[in-house]
Amino acid sequence: MEICGNREMELLKKLGFTRVAGSPEELQAAEILKAECEALGVPAILQDFEIEDADIGTATLEVLEPYNQSYPVTGYKCAQNTFEDGLTAELLYVEDGEDVNLSEAKGKIVLVNPGYMRVPLFKKLMAAGVAGIVTMEGTLRDDRQETDLSTRKLRRTLRAFGSVPMVHTRVLDGFDMVKRGACKAKLVLRGATVEKTSHNVIATVMGTGKPHEIVSFGAHFDSVDFSKGVYDNGAGSVINMEILRYFVENPPYRTVKFIWYGSEEIGLEGSWAYVKAHQEELKDHKLMINVDVGGPVLGTDKVTVTGEEKLTAFADYMAKICACPAKVKQGIYSSDSIPFADSGVPAINFSRDGAPGASYIHDRFDTLSFLSAEALAHTTRLVLEVSRALINGKVFPVERKIPQNMVEEVEKYLYKKELAEVSAEK
Ligand SMILES: [Zn+2]
C-alpha cells in the first residue's frame, strides 16, 4: 500500500475545527475518527471519561491606582473564587518570582512573566502568601483584533500547593500596567466547577502470530480555544489513520491498537483515563508509539525515545536506512506517551516540528495554510518503517522496562517529588 498524503489531507480538512476537551465538537471529531475506522472495516469504540471543567461567570481586573482602567482578562477555571465584590489589594509585578521579587508580595495581587503556570513558581507564590495572580500571553506586536486570550485552568497538580484567584491577560496589557506604575487593583473571579465528558477512540487490529502482544499507536485529537488544531494534532491523528489502513491491508504479526486521545491539552487526561481503565491489558503492551504535531512544509522530523538507548539507536538506524531525515534522541515528550511510560511501557514519540517562524501552535493561526500532504506522508513513512519492523519481528527485542534515567525524567515532569512532599506535610 502506498502512503497517500492527499488522503491524509482530506481527513485533516474534515477535522479542522476547534475541538476543546469535553465539548460537543470534540465528540464530533471522535465520531469522525470512529466512522473512518469503520469504513476501513475496523470496529471502533468510544471510551468516555469525566474531566473537571468550570463555567466562569465573571473575571475582571481593574487597576485603581495611580490611574483607573479595566483590562480584558480571562478567569482561571478551578481557581479559588473571590467574594462577589472582588479582591482589592496592592498590585505588584514580580517578574519570574525570584526571592527578592517575592519578599514583599504577601497579601498582594502579583503579575508574573511566565504565561504557563508551573509547579516551581506556583509553589513559591503560595509560600510567599500572594492574594491573587495575573499571568500573561501573547506579544507586544499583537493586534487585538487578530489575537485571542485563552482560558486557562488551575490544574489539580498545582492546586495541591494551594489556590488563589487567578486571571490571564495579554502581554500588551501587562506591559501597560507596569509602565504606568499600576500599584492597586481589584480582581473579581466567580466560577463554578462542572464535570464534562470527553472521549477516546479505540480501534484494534488483531495480530496473526502473537495476538496477545500489543503495540499501541496514539495521537490526541483535541485542540485548544480558538485553534483549529490541524498541526497540533489533527496531523498525528490522520497519520495514525493512514498507518491503520496499512495494517488492515497488511495484517500485523502482533496486535496493534489505535487510540485517539481526547483532552490531552488539559493535562493528558485521555491517556491517563486509558491507562487507568486498562491496567490488566497494559501488561501486554510492549510499546507505545505516539505522534504529536506534524505536516509543516518547513520543519524537522524528530523522534524522542522514552526507552532504552538500544531502542534509540534502532530508531536512528531505521530512519537513516529508509532515507527519512530525522533527529533521534532519548528523552521524554510532553504528550500521551507519559502515562504509558509512567506505567512501564516504553514509547517512541514522532513529531514534525515547524522551522522557526514557520508554524503556529495553540492559537488561531494553527491552520492548514502552513501544512502539506508531502510533509504528512513523509512523517507517516518514518512512523511506519520504524514501527513495522518491531511489530512484525519474530521476537520483540525491546524490554518492557523504562531505564532509570527516563524514570527520573518522567518523575520530574510529573513533579512527583514536590507532590509527595506537600502530601506528607498535610
Ligand atoms: Zn499536541
Q: How far is CA 24 from CA 56, 64, 150, 336, in A?
A: 18, 40, 19, 22
pLDDT of 274 reads 98
Report CA(335)–ligand 1 centroid distance (Å): 7
For residue 336, the Cα-to-chain-centroid distance in whole angstroms is 8
What Rg value do the Cα atoms of the chain yield, rounded? 23
CATH of the domain at 380: 3.40.630.10
Q: Is residue 200 located within the same domain as residue 322?
A: yes
Q: Is residue 174 located within the same domain as residue 240?
A: no
Q: Three cell numbers at 313?
A: 539507536
Digit-coded pLDDT (tens) for 349-358: 999 999 999 9
Handedness of CA 174, 178, 181, 184 (dihedral sign): positive
pLDDT of 72 reads 97
Report CA(239)–ligand 1 centroid distance (Å): 14
Digit-coded pLDDT (tens) for 326-356: 999 999 999 999 999 999 999 999 999 999 9
Q: What does the pLDDT average to over 292-302? A: 98
Q: Is residue 132 located within the same domain as residue 42?
A: no
User: pLDDT at residue 155 above 90?
Assistant: yes
Report CA(183)–ligand 1 centroid distance (Å): 38
Q: Three cell numbers at 282?
A: 497494559
Q: Is residue 93 located within the same domain as residue 163?
A: yes
In this structure, is residue 71 part of a structural domain?
A: yes
Report CA(219)–ligand 1 centroid distance (Å): 8
Q: Is residue 395 located within the same domain as residue 354?
A: yes
Digit-coded pLDDT (tens) for 104-115: 999 999 999 998
Question: Which pLDDT band, with edges at 50, 70 and 90, does 235 fall under?
Answer: very high
Report CA(334)–ligand 1 centroid distance (Å): 8
Digit-coded pLDDT (tens) for 171-217: 999 999 999 999 999 999 999 999 999 999 999 999 999 999 999 99
Q: Is residue 325 located within the same domain as residue 234?
A: yes
In this structure, is residue 110 part of a structural domain?
A: yes
User: pLDDT at residue 146 above 90?
Assistant: no
Considering only CA atoms, which of 342, 239, 346 is closest in space to residue 285? 346
Query: What is d(CA 36, CA 222) in angstroms, rounded to the nearest whole number?
Result: 17
Report CA(63)–ligand 1 centroid distance (Å): 36
Query: Where a domain ends, among 120, 153, 182?
Result: 182
pLDDT of 426 reads 74
Q: Is residue 202 located within the same domain as residue 268?
A: yes
Report CA(90)–ligand 1 centroid distance (Å): 38
Question: What residues contact residue 199 under an 8 Å CB cut-off, 6+ apart?
Answer: 26, 27, 30, 46, 47, 48, 49, 262, 270
Q: Is residue 19 located within the same domain as residue 145?
A: no
Report CA(361)–ligand 1 centroid distance (Å): 9
Q: How far is CA 260 from CA 85, 212, 238, 395, in A?
A: 44, 21, 10, 27
Q: Is residue 111 located within the same domain as residue 147?
A: yes
User: pLDDT at residue 145 above 90?
Assistant: no
CATH of the domain at 128: 3.50.30.30
Q: What does the pLDDT average to over 217-235? A: 97
In this structure, is residue 189 part of a structural domain?
A: no
Chain-wide mean pLDDT for the chain?
A: 97
Domain that holds residue 375: 5-52+196-413
Alpha helices in 117-198 (DSSP H): 119-128, 156-159, 171-179
Q: How many CB atoms lie within 10 A of CB 384?
A: 21
In this structure, is residue 162 part of a structural domain?
A: yes
Query: Where a domain ends, among 150, 182, 214?
Result: 182
Query: Where a domain ends, among 154, 182, 210?
Result: 182
β-bridge mates for residue 373, sequence order? none
In this structure, is residue 82 part of a structural domain?
A: yes
Digit-coded pLDDT (tens) for 21-31: 999 999 999 99
Digit-coded pLDDT (tens) for 48-102: 999 999 999 999 999 999 999 999 999 999 999 999 999 999 999 999 999 999 9
The percentage of residues in the chain with a pLDDT greater than 90, rounded to a whole number, is: 97
Digit-coded pLDDT (tens) for 349-389: 999 999 999 999 999 999 999 999 999 999 999 999 999 99
Query: What is d(CA 426, CA 411) in angstroms, rounded to the nearest whole number?
Result: 21
User: pLDDT at residue 306 above 90?
Assistant: yes
User: pLDDT at residue 39 above 80?
Assistant: yes
User: pLDDT at residue 1 above 90?
Assistant: no
Report CA(177)–ligand 1 centroid distance (Å): 33
Dihedral Cα 274, 280, 281, 287, nearest 10 deg = 80
Report CA(233)–ligand 1 centroid distance (Å): 5
Report CA(292)–ligand 1 centroid distance (Å): 5
pLDDT of 147 reads 86
Contact between 52 and 71 under an 8 Å Cβ cutoff? The reply is no
Report CA(265)–ligand 1 centroid distance (Å): 7
Query: What is d(CA 287, CA 252) in angstroms, rounded to the nearest whole number?
Result: 14
Considering only CA atoms, which of 205, 197, 184 is closest in space to residue 43? 205
In this structure, is residue 187 part of a structural domain?
A: no
In this structure, is residue 61 part of a structural domain?
A: no
In this structure, is residue 387 part of a structural domain?
A: yes
Domain count, the chain: 2
Report CA(229)–ligand 1 centroid distance (Å): 8
Q: Is residue 238 located within the same domain as residue 103?
A: no
Q: Is residue 44 located within the same domain as residue 124?
A: no
Report CA(236)–ligand 1 centroid distance (Å): 9
β-bridge mates for residue 73, sequence order? none
pLDDT of 397 reads 95
Q: Is residue 178 located within the same domain as residue 235?
A: no
Q: What does the pLDDT average to over 1-15? A: 96
